[in-house]
Amino acid sequence: MANTKLSEHTVSVLVYNKPGVLSKVMSLITRRGFNVESVSAEKTSGDKTRIIVAVKADERSLEQIQKQLYKIVDVIKVTPIDPRHKVVRELAFVKVKNASGLPNASNMELFQLVDVFGGEIINATPSGFVFQLTGSRDKINSFISLIPENLIVEIARTGIVAINKWPSQDS
Amino acid sequence: MPMKGARIVVECLKKEKVDTLFCYPGGVVIPIFDELYQHGDGIRMVQPRHEQGGTHAADGYARVTGKPGVVLVTSGPGATNTVTGIATAYIDSIPMVVITGQVPTNYVGTDAFQEADITGISLPVTKENILVTDIEDLAPSLKRAFHIAVSGRPGPVLVDVPKDVLLATTQFEYPEEFNLESYRPVSKGHPKQVAKALELMTQAKQPLILAGGGIQISGSTELANTFMDKYGIPAVYTLMGHGINPKNGNLSIGNIGMHGTVYGNWAVQHCDLLIALGTRFSDRILGDTVSFAPNATIIHVDVDPAEIGKNINVDVPIVGDLRHVLEKWVEADREMPNFSEWVSMLQKKKADNPLTYQQGNAILPQFVMEKARELFPKNLIVVTDVGQHQMWAHQYFATTSPRSFVSSGGLGTMGFGVPAGIGAKLGCPDREVLVLAGDGGFQMTMQELVTIRREKLPVKIIVLDNGFLGMVRQWQDMFHGKRYSGVVLDNNPDFAALAQVLGIKSQRLEKIDEVEGALAELAQSSEAMLLHVIVEQEENVFPMVAAGASLNDTRTS
């Protein structure tokens, strides 16, 4: 069925940590015609792995993805992440050149930016720096957009991890 | 006693009571063939001429018996040749276990001789696939494969076994049970939904059952017949849904879909309650989704939750085993309105719009089918290939028992017919098996005539030769200005002569007055026989609903 309103949804998939299970999950999502925005996976306990996938989909397709995921034998549980009630974090490393002596840029400005965004400088050499940022995708995107493009050498991002919060006491 | 992996494979097959193994040897599976040679008693090894043929044969075997079809092939090309057969089985929910040999584990990933990543390749077309890397996992993996293939919504499972695993030894122990937290197919329909659906039936005026393949897969045909007779609800059926046969014959209306009957499609468009049983609402059934069954509340029962709401919105979804749901409905013993007026309306529609054809000088496929139906025993198994003849078979060969109409519905695999016929005959040796094929599909797997001869299987084959890839030609005729591009088969060999050379009795027919006699001989022959029938070249299949059009626009010419 034609996709109508596309928006980003996050799904948390608990699987048995078997060889090939990540490729089974990813291949299913892509072959059913969904765009993967972000993916992260790590062993969580014993023989289980949690995969967090963000996809662009409409509500109806989202339901279909969940049902299809359940058909993979090693998928134990599929939990949609509630957008109004979630915690989302991503970690990024941004490698930048030393700005001193370059026009329209200064290291001080870079450091202030890192400070404002609550980041850290985890590597500093005369050639340049590596900044570490954590936060939502939006926060990391805007941090990157504020650094002069000609200073950026390399960016590495983890993709998001997300979890539903405990229900609040008054609801 | 410690056993080699290869022997363990054979012992697992015995534990699963596998009586027929469709197998083709090759380098890495020599150890398994060696064990079959010594310890394979009770397992009939059927060797096709090509692994695709073997896989379709296993599929045909599974379709008529309900037991999993089992295939054993070697690595690389042996494994990749099974893919079309696996995909065919997957989309039609057919249980199958395919065991492939793999290069030794220390060679995996090195592009070794006859290495192919078959678990990667088969991923989208298997219900589950497993690469066994440790001898200790071998027996549990095979147990897992057989369990998953037949349970819930059935499907093919592939087990890839590297050669060193076949040569390693361990204590053989076959797990009694398979238990996995993440694999729990739903069995019972939700009682509230089951009751709600029944309530809607009591309020309906023009209810209609849409019978899909899930009815025979779940072994519910008898129950479905009882359900229909008990409440007087009429039914239409899909290509996979052949076999319903209520005592009150008036309740069985006809088939629906792209080449459905006028009255079948009309029934769907005019019912007020559609009870869809074990169908996935494929595009060949729905046509235009918006105008499909416009007045109906839709109840959808399926064992696979992912089928509910996938292609069409439904009002009352019921996830569960159809057998359980039908049992509940029958047991409930509810008072129902009298639907006989609605049934009469449908019967009148049927009488006014019969399937017709104009038999002229050239033989028409429809005529051949009508005659064959008269001359073959009633409990015949019909196996089709894919194309025009398949749709005519769908129209003219309504079968009255489950697992008797064998056809590649979802994938539409040309070349399916002859090898699937082999499997059907091996699965039901006491029943007549008639393969219907077109000249196109027949030539895709005709080497399997050799297998028929070798296994001495009295399979009956009719090749309807119109010198075209008929269904594509029909679309070109109707929608592409008769530009017959790539569909002309004007150099077909004499298939009767070919069959003779391969040791199979045959006859070539060109004249209408030869048809009846030849069909009678075909039906009575105690050995395999092939009829090569030259038919009208440009006959089109009607009724027809153009792809994506509404069932309201069912064309009859």
**Interface touch B123/A64, C-beta < 8 Å:** no
C-alpha B50/C-alpha B56 separation (Å) is 10
C-alpha B95/C-alpha B86 separation (Å) is 10
Integer distance in angstroms from the first to the last C-alpha of chain B?
A: 70
Q: Answer whether residue A3 shows pLDDT above 70.
A: no
Provide the pLDDT confidence category of residue A104 given band limits of 50, 70 and 90: confident
pTM of the predicted protein model: 0.94
**Minimal CA separation from B306 to chain A, in Å:** 5
ipTM, 2 decimals? 0.87
**Minimal CA separation from B152 to chain A, in Å:** 10
Q: Which residues of A touch B148 (CB under 8 A)?
A: 73
C-alpha A94/C-alpha A117 separation (Å) is 13
How far is C-alpha B58 from the chain's CA centre? 11
Q: Which of B122, B123, B300 has the most A C-beta neighbours within 10 Å, making it the best mutation to test the interface with A?
A: B123
- Say how many residues make up chain B: 557
Query: Is-contact B286 B307, C-beta < 8 A?
Result: no
Q: Which residues of B touch A2 (CB under 8 A)?
A: none
Instruction: Give the whole-number percent of chain A exceeding pLDDT 70.
Output: 96
**Interface touch B123/A68, C-beta < 8 Å:** no
All structural domains of chain A? 7-81 (3.30.70.260), 87-162 (3.30.70.1150)
Q: What is the pLDDT along chain B (557 residues), one digit of tens a residue?
A: 899 999 999 999 999 999 999 999 999 999 999 999 999 999 999 999 999 999 999 999 999 999 999 999 999 999 999 999 999 999 999 999 999 999 999 999 999 999 999 999 999 999 999 999 999 999 999 999 999 999 999 999 999 999 999 999 999 999 999 999 999 998 899 999 999 999 999 999 999 999 999 999 999 999 999 999 999 999 999 999 999 999 999 999 999 999 999 999 999 999 999 999 999 999 999 999 999 999 999 999 999 999 999 999 999 999 999 999 999 999 999 999 999 999 999 999 999 999 999 988 999 999 999 999 999 999 999 999 999 999 999 999 988 899 999 999 999 999 999 999 999 999 999 999 999 999 999 999 999 999 999 999 999 999 999 999 999 999 999 999 999 999 999 999 999 999 999 999 999 999 999 999 999 999 999 999 999 999 999 999 999 999 999 999 999 99
What average pLDDT does the structure give for chain A? 90
Strand order in the sheet with B96-102: B44-46, B20-23, B69-73, B96-102, B156-162, B128-131
| Interface list for chain B against chain A, based on CB atoms closer than 8 Å | 119-120, 123-124, 127-128, 131, 133, 148, 180-183, 289, 304-306, 308-311
Task: Give the pLDDT score at B294.
Answer: 97
Q: Answer whether residue A2 shows pLDDT above 70.
A: no
Task: Give the pLDDT score at A47.
Answer: 93
Task: Give the pLDDT score at A170.
Answer: 59
**Interface touch A67/B306, C-beta < 8 Å:** yes
| DSSP H or E stretch at residue B171 | strand B169-171
C-alpha B59/C-alpha B450 separation (Å) is 19
Query: Is-contact B373 B349, C-beta < 8 A?
Result: no
Catalytic residue IDs of B: 51, 113-114, 163, 471
Phi-psi region of B269 (alpha: psi -120 to 50; beta: other; left: phi over 0): alpha
CA atoms within 13 A on the CB side of A69: 28
Q: Which residues of B touch A22 (CB under 8 A)?
A: none
C-alpha A66/C-alpha A77 separation (Å) is 9
Look up residue B453 and give its amino acid. R
Q: Which residues of A touch B133 (CB under 8 A)?
A: 19
Task: Give the pLDDT score at A27.
Answer: 92
Query: Which token pair is B312?
Result: 């069409």
**How many CB atoms are located within 10 Å of the residue B439 CB?**
26
Backbone CA torsion sign across B494, B497, B499, B505: positive
- For residue B552, give the DSSP letter: G
| Interface list for chain A against chain B, based on CB atoms closer than 8 Å | 1, 15-16, 19-20, 23-24, 27-28, 31, 60, 63-64, 67-68, 70-71, 73-76
Query: Is-contact A144 A155, C-beta < 8 A?
Result: yes
Query: Is-contact B528 B460, C-beta < 8 A?
Result: yes
Q: What's the pLDDT tens digit per position in A56-86?
A: 888 888 889 999 999 999 999 999 998 888 8
